[in-house]
A and B are shown apart, each in its own frame.
Chain A
Amino acid sequence: MAAVTETLDTVQSVTQSGYKWGFETTIEMDFAPKGLNEDIIRLISARKEEPAWMLEWRLKAYAAWLKMEEPKWARVDHPPIDYQDLHYYAAPKKKPGPKSLDEVDPELLKMYEKLGIPLKERAILAGVDPETVENTPVAVDAVFDSVSVATTFQATLRKAGVIFCPISEAVREHPDLVKQYLGTVVPTGDNFFAALNSAVFTDGSFVFIPQGVRCPMELSTYFRINARNTGQFERTLIIAEAGSHVSYLEGCTAPQRDENQLHAAVVELVALDDAQIKYSTVQNWFPGDVNGKGGIYNFVTKRGACRGARSKISWTQVETGSAITWKYPSCVLLGEDSVGEFYSVAVTNNHQQADTGTKMIHIGKGSRSTIISKGISAGHSNNTYRGLVRMLPSAANARNFTQCDSLLIGDQCGAHTVPYIESRNLTAKVEHEATTSKIADDQLFYCRQRGLSEEDAVGLIVNGFCKDVLKELPMEFAVEAQKLLAVSLEGSVG
């Protein structure tokens, strides 16, 4: 089977070279000095050529952040983070700014190749006419450290009325939309990391789908953390007007580092009447080495607001990377009969720690939510599902179904399920199912007796365990995700 061969190849390359994506490009960086204060925020804002209101917004968030403390309730453990010891701005040094893809640094294009960005997207990045690229077109807004350097397919999207651009550009070009929605789903003072992000965010994506428009392609962003000691603070805002549809893909890799790198992104989604947003993530940032040294600290706030009737927001995530994951993609179900979905696979190996889950806040009548969470723990890792389902008094006949399954590989790891269920409406229904299982020796032996290697056997069993989530991913991502699962668990058995 081809996918398994590829998996094998991937496993081999990882075994031989350590973290496959652990390379560093030599594009010159332009750093802000280390540390965080109002001057740094002014510098970021100035570099981004932002209007005054944006700077004020940032400074307000900074003031709020100064009064806040890091949350301590998650089941993760790390040495204190020195927020004054980080660079908050780094941009590739560039000529006046690439007008077209031909002007994009060839180093960067090479990097996309190493990242394994799907061929057709690379072709697009390389400037091939989209019409000649087969299959469904995919638009890529590549974030290379802090500045978006390549934005593609603008013409096709513009024709449909879709805006897909770096958020810094949106601040300048579409200030009314940004002002109307930014910080309305995740307020600046929402939590410690969201406040920090609001103060210092450097880039990210902005998507606007006008009323009744079905976005003509899947929108894709490849994030990458590249500069030594540079915190990456992405800010993404997606607005789907009434009756519109959009599918957004986010994939991430980061080069190998000894120092831990902080990442605190904020993603806000807004869906109006009958609008649908599907947000898919495959995250494989450097998880640290086998002894737990290095790796990304990933403290992310992702939230969607289903503001309109019958609106739908669907989060699908496959998380195999990062030393620490603190992430709860959530839905606020305001609209009548609105729908929230969360499909998640979280894999931890070695010394990784993941505290992840979702929040479904039911406000609208007849709102429905589904949570399918698959946690896989191996090595010495700890994997916690933390989920909140809240039915407010207005949420008549609201429904939630939650299924949390944990799979343990080996006997040194931990799996924890922490569901919070609050119902203040008697007609609301909440269902919660949870299972914990181990990969059994007899399952492994059965597969090996048929000729599968131990790694292939684990990959097959794990992919079977995650099937309900993987099938929610767009096709291209599903294959990538299957490979990642196998790679992440390499060496975890025996």
Chain B
Amino acid sequence: MLEIRGLTASINDKSILKGIDLVVPQGEVHALMGPNGSGKSTLGYVLSGREDYEVTAGTVTFNGVNLLDMEPEERAAAGVFLAFQAPVELPGVNNANFLRTALNALRRAHGEAELDAVQFLKLARAETKRLAMPDDMLKRNVNVGFSGGEKKRNEVLQMAILRPKLAILDETDSGLDIDALKVVADGVNALRGPDFSALVITHHQRLLDHLVPNRVHVLAHGRIVRSGGPELAKELEKSGYAGLLAEAA
């Protein structure tokens, strides 16, 4: 269970998160919506431990451990995965090698045996096949020369292989066509189970058609201003944020 209490955070002395309270129980998928600049991506970065952000107050625990005390790689080992809104390019680094290094780092942290190249490729090929991605995705350099859609698919592939306990998807559906959107939804749905939870940051109801969330939260001006069931997203699709913001103000 992810439990965020009174979280405030700033970057370069500019306050972005102004008191977030949010609970995502194990086994649930929650959607996080809200206007541009409301702090959604910042929340994703703060949860995953990006150093540029300063946490000024509040607590974040995941399955009982304090995430805020941990290095990014320790959070990853605890099961936190961030699908980046703008995935980063690593020139000369082969995608399969990158993923195997990451998976084995996680396995080491869990006291599990590392996978050799053959074992890993078997697993990775099964996942690419399941997600209907071409095998050459694994051979190419990490995100180098990938189209916007390919980068997002690659994030989903990484999530499928690393099997996190908490996935934070930062607008992974943005700029995707309907088929790619389904890949994202399928990626999350495949992991759904009692030990998996997700926080899906999105602007679009259509992702939530494929990925029915347990709860929907609206973030505005650094605070959660409204929470509700899946119907809240449909309502926002119709009426926009304006009414909600006026109400909150």
Contact = CB atoms under 8 A, between A and B. Distances in A.
Interface of A: 1-2, 4-5, 440-443, 445-454, 456, 460-461, 463-468
Nearest to B106: A451
Given A460-B93, A461-B93, A446 B114 contact: no
Contacts of B75: 449
B92 A466 contact: yes
A75 to B, nearest CB: 27
B76 to A, nearest CB: 4
B105 A467 contact: no
A452 B103 CA distance: 9
Interface residues of B, number: 39
B90 A2 contact: no
Contacts of A463: 92-93
Contact of A451 (B51, B76, B88, B93): B76
A460 B141 CA distance: 12
Given A442-B88, A451-B162, A464-B91, A1 B104 contact: yes
Contacts of B98: 447, 450, 460
A446 B144 CA distance: 14
Contact of A446 (B77, B88, B97): B88
A4 B104 contact: yes
B144 to A, nearest CB: 9
Contacts of A456: 101, 105
Contacts of B117: 1
Nearest to A452: B105
A453 B98 CA distance: 13
Contacts of B97: 1, 460
A5 B114 CA distance: 9
Interface string B112-141: 001011000000000000000000000001
A174 to B, nearest CB: 44
A443 B88 contact: yes
Contacts of A4: 101, 104-105
Most chain A beta carbons < 10 A, residue from B52, B76, B88, B162:
B88
A119 to B, nearest CB: 19
B90 A460 contact: yes
A451 B106 CA distance: 6
A446 B87 contact: yes
A456 B105 CA distance: 9
Contacts of B101: 1, 4, 452, 456, 460
B205 interface: no
A277 B234 CA distance: 70
B73 A452 contact: yes
Nearest to B103: A451
A1 B100 contact: yes
Contacts of B105: 4, 450-453, 456
Instruction: Count chain B CB atoms within 10 A of each CB in A441, A447, A449, A454 and give the residue with the most.
Output: A449
**Leading 5 A-B pairs by shortest Cβ distance:** A464-B92, A464-B93, A450-B102, A451-B76, A448-B72
B48 interface: yes
Contacts of B48: 449
Interface centre among B51, B101, B114 (most CB of A within 10 A): B101
Contacts of A452: 73, 101-102, 105
Contacts of B162: 450-451
A460 B90 CA distance: 9
A450 B76 contact: yes
26 contacts: A1-B101, A1-B114, A2-B116, A4-B101, A4-B104, A4-B105, A445-B51, A445-B88, A446-B84, A446-B90, A447-B90, A448-B76, A449-B84, A450-B99, A450-B158, A451-B73, A451-B103, A452-B73, A452-B105, A454-B73, A456-B101, A460-B93, A460-B98, A463-B92, A463-B93, A466-B92
Contacts of B72: 445, 448-449
Kindly name the residue among A449, A451, A463 whose own CB sees the greatest number of chain B CB atoms within 10 A. Answer: A451
Nearest to B91: A464
Contacts of B104: 1, 4-5
Contact of A443 (B50, B90, B100, B106): B90
A451 B52 CA distance: 18
B71 A448 contact: yes
B109 interface: yes
Nearest to A446: B88
B100 A465 contact: no
A461 B91 CA distance: 8
B212 to A, nearest CB: 27
Contacts of B106: 451
Nearest to A454: B73
A446 B44 CA distance: 13
B61 to A, nearest CB: 19
A4 B114 CA distance: 11
Given A1-B100, A450-B76, 14 more contacts: A1-B114, A4-B104, A5-B108, A443-B89, A445-B88, A448-B72, A448-B76, A450-B102, A451-B103, A460-B101, A461-B90, A463-B92, A464-B91, A464-B92
A461 B72 CA distance: 17
B43 interface: no
